[in-house]
Amino acid sequence: MPEVTDIDSVDETKTLAAVLPFIFEARGQRCDDLIIQCIPGCRLRSAINGMAPVVDSRGHARVPLDQARALAAFPATPGMQLHVDPGACTYKIVDPLHGNEKALEDISMFFREQGQFSVADRITGKPPTEGKLDVHRMKSLCRELYNIVESKYGVFVKGIVKLADIEDLPGKFLLNPGSQVPNTQPIYEEEFPAWVENLSRSGG
């Protein structure tokens, strides 16, 4: 499996893909985990930087004040990342906590101070994993990450990603890339209108 190209070493004059390699980081608004549909089983932990107290629709705190203060003191933690190389159709899932001994010890200390860890308990972070996608799933992945960034649930920490460039990538957009069960829907978005029209004609 080829490794994702280091974005800092990309020579733009030799890159044929419309989108250069980039790095995406999960930063959910409420420290949410993000499920990436185009990569089966991919779940990214969001960055944590002083957890905001959870409130209901009336603005009333749903977490006791003492707990809210404890959560706000949680060590700043980077979100998990996706290193994506559209030209090679490869990706790498990276947890910045993995191998970061200081950050891991700070988090472990926080939990020990809250009485949730013993001295022997330890967090390790997730080791990196990588994979390769076909052109259709890669094109769909780039647009999925672009939309997540537009929704303020992630950021591109390296690289510039534009929707027009994503549309110029080879392949077609998948209609339902997260589906894990057989269904009768078409594979590609462009086939959906005709499928709906045919379904209506047949009385489906």
- Integer Cα distance of 129 and 92 in angstroms: 6
Q: What is the pLDDT of residue 111?
A: 79
Nearest to 93 by CA among 55, 137, 42, 49: 42
Q: What is the pLDDT of residue 2?
A: 38
Amino acid in position 155:
V
Length of the chain: 204
DSSP 178: T
Q: Give the mean pLDDT per block of 10 residues along the chain (204 residues).
A: 39 60 91 92 87 55 56 81 97 94 84 68 85 96 97 95 96 92 88 85 66
pTM above 0.85, yes or no: no
Q: Within 10 Å of residue 36's Cβ, how many Cβ atoms? A: 22
- Integer Cα distance of 170 and 19 in angstroms: 11
Q: What is the pLDDT of residue 3?
A: 40
Q: What is the pLDDT of residue 179?
A: 86
Q: What is the pLDDT of residue 150?
A: 96
DSSP 161: -
Q: Within 10 Å of residue 31's Cβ, how many Cβ atoms? A: 19
Amino acid in position 193:
P
Q: What is the pLDDT of residue 6?
A: 42
Q: What is the pLDDT of residue 31?
A: 75
3-state secondary structure of 63: coil
- Integer Cα distance of 47 and 180 in angstroms: 28
Q: What is the pLDDT of residue 61?
A: 52
Q: What is the pLDDT of residue 99?
A: 86
The torsion angles phi and psi of 173, rounded to 5 degrees, stand at -75, 135
